[in-house]
Every structure is written in C-alpha cells, then in structure tokens.
Structure 1
Amino acid sequence: MRTRLKGINTVKRTLADGTVATYYYHRATGFRLTGEPGSTAFMASIAEAETKSKNRHEGTLSGLIRDFDSTKQWRRLAESTKKEYRRVLTFWDGKYGTVPYAALEDKQFRRDVLKWHDEFSEEKPREADNRVTILARVLSWATKDGPLNRNVMDGFERAYDGDRSELIWLPEHVDAFMEKANEEMKLAIVLALHTGQRQGDLLKLAWSNYDGTHIKLRQGKTKRYVAVKCTKALKQTLDGLTRTSALIMTTKTGKAFKKRYFAELWEKTCTDAGITDLHFHDIRGTTVTMLFQAGCNLGEIVSVTGHSLRRAQEILDKYLARTSTMADNAIAKLENVLETDFAKRPAKREASNEAK
C-alpha cells in the first residue's frame, strides 16, 4: 500500500486497451512527473518542477511569501501563529500574488489595500486589521532583509480599538463566575488568576510543570521561560486534585481540552454569571494589577506573567487612571487574592462533599 505523496497529485486513467495507468503531477505547477515514485528519474522530475515553481513566483508577492516562510522570523513564531499567518497569507497570495516588486513599492498598492481594508472593516474590523498587519509584517521583512526598498503599508490606521488594558476581572466578577462554574471552570480561573498565564499555555500545562512549590513553563507565544511560585491557595488547590491525566486541566472524562470546547464552556459560564464584557485574556491584566497591589515592582510582575515591561506599564497606567483604589478590603496581597471560599480549598471537592 503506497502512502500519499506530499505535494503530488496522483491520477489514474483507463486506457483504450482496458489497462489502468497512473500519472503523477506536481501539485503547485501542474507539471507532469516522469518515472516511478522513488526512482532517480522521478526525483529529478520533482526538482525540475520545483525550479519552475520558484521561477514562476520570483519577483512577485507570491515569491516574497514563500521566501518569508524560510526566515528566522517565521521560525520564531508559535505554531498557532504560523497557522494564522498561513491562512491570511493564502488570502493575500490569491488577491495580489502576481504583483511584482515595483508595484509593491508603489503608493497605488497601498491605496488598493486600504480601500479593501475600509470596505471589509465595516463588518469585521478586527479581521481587516489582522490581515493587513500580517501583510505589512511580510513587507517589513522584505524591506529590511529582502528585495524591497520600502514598505508602503507601514503605519496604516487600524479600524478596531483592541486596547483592553483597563478591562480587568474584579472580585465581584470572580464571585459571580465561581457561583455558576463547574469544577473544571473553577480550576481554570484559579490557575489563570494565580499564574497570569495565557489560555493556550494553561491548557497545555502538565503535572511535570509543577514541582510542589512552583509552576515552571516556557510560554508558547513569546518563548519566555517563567517560574511562578504558587500561592498557598493555588498549592492547596493543585495538591488536592486527583491526577487522572498528564495534564492539569482536563475535561470531566480526563481528556485534554480542545480549544473550541473550552471556549464554549467558558463563554457559557460567563453568560450564566451575567459577565458580558470580559474575556479570559483579561485575567492576565487582573493578575498584573493584583501583583502591583501586593507591592511588586514592574520587573517582578513581568517575571511572573511574561509581559513586556512596556505592556505591563500600559496596563497599570490605564488601571491607575481609572481608579486609585481597587477593593482594598478584598485584594491586599496576592496571597489573599480573593476573599472567597474557593481560594481556601481545592478547586475540586470530594464527591461526598458534593452530595451534602
């Protein structure tokens, strides 16, 4: 049984004499390959097709996109980011892939892209901004280290105001969430509040990342290494859990959370709790403010959350501009982050306690 050949289309044809012939085509160029798979002639045919493909895209946006795919800037991206880049760059490749270098440097190209952005952003401002940002990233690389002389998309005006620095979870939000949450969602918010980590990193967090006193991990997005000392409340929660999987956060059946399923459960809990304007990611800003309230300086804060110094300062600037105090009776130190029962007991209770 032959495995499917990557980048090769296999076509079978019934000939006039009734025999079945198999033909192979290079998917990107449609070039027919000669010889049998694995043979010298077949490999030489693939090399010829690859050369034709490269020459076909040379000097165009398509070529830039393919060249960017082999740079260190690309390799540094998280896998989830690469997936998103591929999606967006496929769109631009289809729309402007044949545009030559000279036109990419022309102001008319900027006008064309911004015209599309203006129209598309009427309904989907975030997606419009996202697509142009990724295109501008490729053009920026091509200007700095590639064949272009200038990036005409530099400094485009965004349609979506995505600054959520001042949106944080207050104690009343957490109390409302905890009241409606199942045990899996309770554990999720406790981990998020006490570590300040991203959802993606928490979903992948393994018991091997916890040594009894610290949670140590390398963040997927920034590749920063962080070691978060567990508060007494978080340690009590983790030590009280039954380890049914290599991962700390699992579904009721002990399986790893799919990103979409987790988002659905989180959103349902927020809706049930009457929380409409806060996201999971906003908890990171909450942790920053709680650490600040506990007396931590910027360096100490970013060593826990993995934020840049500038981003942490932006969050605090927005927070401090909005209010001079933040429920001092409820949040004084990170150790006493939430004056609710959940912070003083394991997130998962024994079934016998549930029955009472």
Structure 2
Amino acid sequence: MRVRLKGVNRVSKRLADGSSVTYYYAWKGGPRLPGKPGAPEFIAAYNAAVAERLQPPPGTLSSVLRAYQDAPKFQDLALRTRRDYAKHIAKIEEDFGDFPIAALSDRRTRGEFMNWRDRLAAKSRRQADYAFAVLALILAWAYDRGAVPANPCERPGKLYRSTRVDNIWTAEDEAAFLKVAPPHIGLAFMLAIWTGQRQGDLLRLTWKAYNGSTIRLRQRKGNVPVEVPVGAPLRAILEATKREAVTILSTTRGTSWTESGFRASWRKACEAAGVEDLTFHDLRGSAVTRLAVAGAQVPQIAAVTGHDLKRVETIMRDHYLGRDSALAATAIRLLEAYEGRTKIPN
C-alpha cells in the first residue's frame, strides 16, 4: 500500500545528457529526501524532517507554550478547559511564538503584551481577558520552574466587567421555567438551584452520589470534595425520578447527557418559558443569593457550593447582592430580633 505524505514537493529537472530526473523535498524549500516515494529510507527521512520542523526554536515563547501543554498541570485540566486553553494558546503562538524568552525581563515587554490584549478587546473584552490570563498563568508556571526570567503579565487588571446583579433567577423566572420545562430538564434546574454546582459536575453526577439525605461529589474544577444536604423539594423530585441511567440527569431515552445535547435542550426550555439573559451558570450565583437571603453565612454557603470563602464574598459583594432588597430586609429583621432581646441601658 502506498502512503501519501502530505506536503511533499516534487521537482523535475532535465540533465545535460538530455535525461530527466525527479527530486523530492519534504516541503517546498524543505530538505531533499533520498530514494523514491514509498521506500523505507524516503519515509524515514520525511518523518524526521517533519518532526524537526515541529520542534519550536529553543529560547522562544513557543517552546514554553509547548512544554506547558505537555505538562501534568495542563493535562489534569478538565477536557473543556483544555480545549478553551488550546484555542487561546494557538493565538498566543501565532502572535508571539518567536518572541525571545530572554526579552521577557525587558520592561517594554509588558507594554507589548498589554497592547496585544487591547487589540483583542476590539472584538471581545471578555475573550481578551481570557487569552491574557492564559498567557499569564503559563508564564507563571514557567517562572516557577526557572524556564523564564520573568512574568511580565502579572496582575494586569480586567477589561471586561460583568455586573450580574440582574442575572439572578427570581421566583417568577423559576415558576415560568418549571411550568414549561420537561421533567428531565426541570430536575436539572432543581439540582442546580438547590446545590449551587456547575453544569458539568451535575451532568456527571451518578445515583451512587445520592444516599437519600446528601449528595457527595468532587468538583472537577479545583478537585474540591463537596457534601450537600438535600433539601425537601429536591429530595421529593429525586425520589420520584426513575433511575434509567447511571447518571441522575438523563435524556428522554434514558441515556446520560452530552454537554452539547444538554445545552441545546436547556436553551429550548428557556425559549419556551420566555426566560432571557439568564444562563444555567447563573443558577450557581442564584443559589448563593438565595442562601444569603435565607440568612446563611459565608462559611455555610461555601460548604454547600464548594466556593472558597473569598469567592463567596466576591460574588455577594460585586455581582449578585449589591441591590438585593430581600437581603436588606433580612438584615433589618435580624437587627429587630436582636434589639428586641437586648435592653439598652439608660
């Protein structure tokens, strides 16, 4: 069987004696290959040339980017995260692949990278921040290992600011959604709002994780173990759900969801309910909000959702609770109760 090698450049020449000869090169301008196509020495020389070409020049940012993608730090990330990172890494390599590692300690380098982020922001500030964050974390990884002399991308601040005060699932949104959502999608909603977990973790959640009173899981992001007590409304739905698949959440065919399939069905349910500008991920923040409105403290909320304490405080302060009147009302009721029990001395 003849193997077709991609990119091989064929050049025919006429010799002085009138005969013609064909030379083969690994690619246009590449090294000349010995023998004829299909011969063992020809294939070996081609593979060696391609392998050498794929190796990034030493001392360049490309070599750092490739090393990071081969490292456990990258390989241990969730599949979707690796795909997102790889997309941004490809862009970084396209724009800065030949950037000298030695130049990272130059004071002007930070400005070069910041200007690059500004150019990306012309299309999307959020994606510009993401790409810059990926570059920063790779350089931090390399700096810790002595592979680069400096990390000029530390603490850049953000271009994209999301105010998610209005991106809370209200009781009205919940009622509208559950009224039209099919039961298997409604179950996903209830799991999310009563546990505060991410979509990916909930789609992977098996029936073995539920013991009738708690749900135990290990979050993919951060590898955080969580044990969530199951509230009565969620417990009632779980107990009434047929266990057709290994996972708690399943399709109408009784099979586990793919992420793309679930997102498509979720989107249809939102459209049918007339719910706009709200995502599944907003349920995680909404769970934080509801727990806070109910009087739960930061450590209690973190124990349910798996956030670290600072992240819960940030969500409450910056994104979700800044204008929540119910939270303010709860605070005043607590104050009234306290003042009613405590006599102020004359």
CA contact (8 A) 2:165 2:323 kept: no
Residue in structure 1 matched with residue 323 of structure 2 by the alignment: 322
Structure with max Cα Rg? 2
Q: Distance in 1 between matches of 2:208 and 2:48?
A: 45
CA gap 1:269/1:32 in 2 versus in 1, 3 angstroms: farther
Moved more, 159-168 or 231-240: 159-168
Q: Given the alignment of the two structures, is residue 283 of structure 1 paired with residue 283 of structure 2, yes or no? A: yes
Deviations 1:39-97 (A, max 9, x none): 9xx9999899867865x532111110122224453244223212211221122112211
Residue type matched to 1:322 in 2?
R
CA contact (8 A) 2:31 2:49 kept: no
**Aligned-residue offset at 1:152:** 1.8
Q: Distance in 2 between matches of 1:283 and 1:107?
A: 43
Unaligned runs of 5+ in 1: 14-22, 333-356
Q: Given the alignment of the two structures, is residue 202 of structure 1 paired with residue 207 of structure 2, yes or no? A: no
CA contact (8 A) 2:165 2:322 kept: no
Deviations 1:72-127 (A, max 9, x none): 53244223212211221122112211111123333444334333332332232222
Deviations 1:199-240 (A, max 9, x none): 111111111221222211111112101111211221111111
Residue in structure 1 matched with residue 16 of structure 2 by the alignment: none
Count of residue pairs brought into register by the alignment? 315
**Aligned-residue offset at 1:195:** 1.1
CA gap 1:254/1:317 in 2 versus in 1, 3 angstroms: same
Percentage of matched positions with identical amino acids: 33
Q: Distance in 2 between matches of 1:48 and 1:211?
A: 58
CA gap 1:212/1:91 in 2 versus in 1, 3 angstroms: same
Deviations 1:18-39 (A, max 9, x none): xxxxx9x8xxx999799xxxx9
Residue in structure 1 matched with residue 216 of structure 2 by the alignment: 216
CA gap 1:114/1:200 in 2 versus in 1, 3 angstroms: same
Residue in structure 2 matched with residue 256 of structure 1 by the alignment: 256
Residue in structure 2 matched with residue 152 of structure 1 by the alignment: 152
After the TM superposition, which residues 78-227 of structure 1 pair with which residues of structure 2 at under 5 Å, given as runs?
A: 78-164=78-164, 167-227=167-227
CA gap 1:63/1:265 in 2 versus in 1, 3 angstroms: same
Q: Distance in 2 between matches of 1:321 and 1:133?
A: 27
CA gap 1:158/1:292 in 2 versus in 1, 3 angstroms: closer
Higher relative contact order (CA 8 A, sep 6+): 1
Residue in structure 2 matched with residue 292 of structure 1 by the alignment: 292
CA gap 1:71/1:130 in 2 versus in 1, 3 angstroms: same
TM-score normalized with structure 1 length: 0.74
CA contact (8 A) 1:60 1:100 kept: yes
